[in-house]
Amino acid sequence: MKSNATVMNRLSDKFRNFKGFPSNYVFWGILLFGLLFVVMPIFFHADPYSGLSSIKYPDAVMHPMALVVLNYIMPTVSLLVIALYIRNSIKNRTFTWWFLFYFAAFGCFWAETIGDWGINLTYSPAFFHYVLPFTYPWHVEANPAWMPFGYGFFWGIHAFVLLWLTKWIMRKTQWSFTKSVFIFALPFGYLWDFAFEGLATYCGWWTYTPALGPYIHWPLIGGLGNFPLLFPAFFPMFIFPTFITFFVGEPLKTPYSPGRIERLFNLTKLLPNTHPGSPNYTGVPDARPSSFAWRYELTRLLAWWLVFFVSFMTLMIVPANILRYVYYGLAGAGWSGGTVPYMPSPVFTGDVTTWVVIGGMALLIAVIVIGVRHVWTHKSSKATNELADNII
């Protein structure tokens, strides 16, 4: 029988010499984060809309222009794009970069309503809308049914254009990928948001009422809503898409090569040696796999979604809500999130919810810090070193 010391030493060596992101941190971190920050508050709060005799909406969104664009045209185009991605994935016998990006973004749409509360965003009730089977302490009413399609559409096109322009800048300036992305991302992200949300608020598809900080009041030139110039266009809108674009990287030259997320989670160990994406593959370069490696493909789809969702919550949703509390607190309107008739602040039924939310946020931050520390300090990990080399 092996001694406890020997077993502990081996476990310690395994822990120090891991390859890729520690799976135990990912699994338990995401599980506890979901339970503490997303699931538990649902059962410990009073819906701020439940005591209202009727839901109020700003006049700007009551009669929007061109409803057909988002009710019909955009979902139809998105479905055609999804069909194309599925076709290409079947043809290549692997999930393509575009398939993974679209569905990872698609899987985050249901948390949008939390961040919308933080930035005083109200959608037009004239859209078709969806209703979740539960409510969050922070949410808005009339969440539009086109939102799931909009996520893949908006973020996918944003990443494609930013990556294309980044490569153009790299050719012109000889800058590194990292430098090019981060220098160009701020002006590009702001103009991108201004173009899309400027049009949306002008048409009354949604509005920011009251806006946080300076804003454009479109009725002055024939429009309907308000477009804020700083929040969220400047912060936190550009942070999440910039990070995701930088972290995921450009589409690979071949669909079988493992990308950054695959290397980070060391997913290639799930591939058979006959697969062109396996590090032990010795066959014809770039040959199409003989079959679909379902275990590997489904695991990498989950890994992509985890990266997107955790990044989305920590870089976009949570900062947006903190922004509202801080903005109204500093403005002298109290630290309870302000008094906004269109999206009232949540009223918690007990102190337990507050501590659950705070605990969930603290745990998530701890998981990220610990995970990043291990990824960037354990030099024995070949996968980590390759990832660092490719990113920097």
Closest residue by Cα to residue 191 from 245, 241, 243 = 241
Number of residues written out for the chain: 392
Say if residues 369 and 7 touch (Cβ distance below 8 Å). Answer: no
- Map tokens 């922004």 to a residue: 323
Task: Specify the higher pLDDT residue, 190 or 20.
Answer: 190
pLDDT at 314: 81
Bridge partner residues of 207 (DSSP): 122
CA–CA separation, 186 and 177 (whole Å): 15
User: Is 181 buried (19+), middle (13-18) or exposed (0-12) by CB count in 10 A?
Assistant: buried
Q: Tell me, what's the pLDDT at 40?
A: 59
Residue 170 has pLDDT above 90, yes or no: no
pTM of the model: 0.79
Asked if pLDDT for residue 249 goes beyond 90, the answer is no
Average pLDDT over every residue of 231-237? 82
**For 98-110, what is each residue's pLDDT tens digit?**
899 889 988 889 8
Residue 29 has pLDDT above 90, yes or no: no
Q: Which DSSP string corresponds to 50-82?
A: TT-SS----GGGTS-S-THIIIIIHHHHHHHHH
